[in-house]
């Protein structure tokens, strides 16, 4: 259960009225790639997601709450309408409640990265959920096509191939390649919408492609049906019942 929940997050882990001219993707000095990222302090959302790793296939409802750059909270409810899991992510750790098996899990990001063979961190997870650039633009060479501006950024053994929509001014595709394992995460964003003047993707689909032939690909899709930029602070309830076993 814990791997199922975490993989949904990692893979994972938004605008016709907001279009700008193609030339406006750069700042006045032509050295700053201006990708539209949503501004907020507190955000909540409800979404449908599907998960398939070749062995398990799950459909469920997920409720998200975010305090920007600080906390991500997730509640997972399958078709029966009963919460089966709850996740709390802060800048250092990931906490998971498995309510079906009455167990809980605690990971540092170092432990999580070793578990899944990818260098996960809070900003990466937040970026995937919101459709933001995972690795920001730093004057890399930008290639222009009819539909995209694209560039490649590197960080350690990872290569980030980013594709920014010429009309949406949003990240529409990103492919993360691990040169150490040859594993790849590909994420696509579409159906961009306005929420209180901020742009979010309504649809997110992700594929984790493992180089090892014995490990099947993992596919995750998220479809938001409600997004709210909150006017006041919101809560992030997470408590471990005394009878739960740590795993």
DSSP designation for 153: E
CATH number, domain containing residue 138: 2.50.20.10
| Residue 237 maps to a domain | no
Cα 157 to Cα 40, 89, 179, 225, 227: the distances in Å are 32, 24, 5, 36, 35
Report the C-alpha gap between 33 and 140 in whole angstroms: 10
| Residue 235 maps to a domain | no
Over residues 205-214, mean pLDDT? 84
Report the C-alpha gap between 136 and 236 in whole angstroms: 28
CA 68 to chain centroid, in Å, comes to: 13
CA-based nearest residue to 133, from 173, 186, 183? 173
Over residues 76-94, mean pLDDT? 90
7 or 143: which leads in pLDDT: 143
**Residue/partner pairs of 207-215 with CB below 8 Å, 24 or more apart:** 207/11, 208/7, 208/10, 208/11, 208/183, 208/184, 209/183, 209/184, 209/185, 210/183, 211/181, 211/182, 211/183
CA-based nearest residue to 77, from 61, 64, 65? 61
For the CA atoms of 90, 189, 201, 160, the dihedral, rounded to the nearest 10 degrees, stands at 40
Phi, psi (rounded to 5 degrees) for 25: -70, -20
DSSP output for 162-211: EEEETTT-SEEEEEEEETTT--EEEEEEEEEEEETTEEEEEEEEEEEE-S
Number of H-type helices and E-type strands within the chain: 3, 14
pLDDT for the residue numbered 215: 79
Q: In the chain, pLDDT over 90 holds for what percent of residues?
A: 43
pLDDT for the residue numbered 19: 31
| Residue 181 maps to a domain | yes
By CB neighbour count within 10 A (0-12 exposed, 13-18 middle, 19+ buried), where does 121 fall? Answer: middle
CA-based nearest residue to 133, from 21, 234, 34? 34
| Residue 243 maps to a domain | no
170 or 233: which leads in pLDDT: 233
Over residues 3-30, mean pLDDT? 42
4 — pLDDT class (breaks 50, 70, 90): low
Range of the domain at 145: 2-229
212 or 240: which leads in pLDDT: 240
Over residues 75-98, mean pLDDT? 91
Contact 176, 159 (CB under 8 A): yes
pLDDT per residue as tens digits for the range 142-199: 888 889 989 998 888 889 999 998 888 889 999 988 888 888 989 999 999 889 988 8
pLDDT for the residue numbered 231: 94
Q: In the chain, pLDDT over 70 holds for what percent of residues?
A: 85
| Residue 236 maps to a domain | no
| Residue 242 maps to a domain | no
The most confident of the ranges 80-84, 135-139, 188-192 is 188-192
101 — pLDDT class (breaks 50, 70, 90): very high
What integer best gives the mean pLDDT of the chain? 83
**Beta-ladder partners of 184:** 177, 209
* Tokens encoding 160: 């980030």
- Per the structure, how many domains does the chain have? 1
| Residue 46 maps to a domain | yes
15 — pLDDT class (breaks 50, 70, 90): very low
| Residue 165 maps to a domain | yes
pLDDT for the residue numbered 7: 53
Report the C-alpha gap between 240 and 100 in whole angstroms: 13
């Amino acid at each position: 259960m814990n791997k199922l929940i975490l993989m949904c997050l990692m893979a994972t882990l938004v605008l016709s009225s907001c279009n700008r001219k193609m030339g406006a993707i750069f700042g006045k000095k032509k050295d700053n790639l201006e990708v539209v990222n949503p501004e907020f302090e507190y955000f909540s959302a409800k979404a449908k997601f599907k998960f398939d790793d070749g062995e398990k296939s799950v459909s469920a409802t997920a409720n998200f709450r975010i305090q920007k750059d600080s906390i991500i909270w997730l509640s997972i409810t399958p078709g029966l309408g009963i919460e089966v899991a709850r996740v709390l992510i802060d800048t250092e750790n990931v906490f998971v409640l498995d309510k079906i098996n009455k167990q809980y899990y605690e990971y540092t990001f170092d432990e999580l990265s070793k578990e899944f063979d990818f260098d996960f961190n809070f900003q990466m997870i937040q970026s995937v959920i919101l459709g933001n650039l995972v690795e920001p633009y730093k004057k890399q060479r930008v290639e222009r096509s009819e539909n995209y501006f694209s560039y490649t950024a590197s960080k350690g053994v990872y290569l980030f191939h980013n594709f920014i929509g010429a009309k949406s001014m949003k990240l529409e595709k990103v492919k993360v390649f691990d040169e150490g394992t040859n594993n790849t995460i590909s994420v696509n964003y579409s159906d961009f919408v306005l929420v209180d003047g901020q742009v979010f993707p309504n649809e997110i689909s992700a594929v984790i492609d493992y180089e090892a032939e014995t490990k099947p690909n993992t596919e995750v899709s998220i479809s938001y049906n409600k997004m709210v930029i909150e006017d006041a602070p919101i809560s992030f309830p997470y408590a471990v019942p005394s009878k739960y076993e740590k795993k």
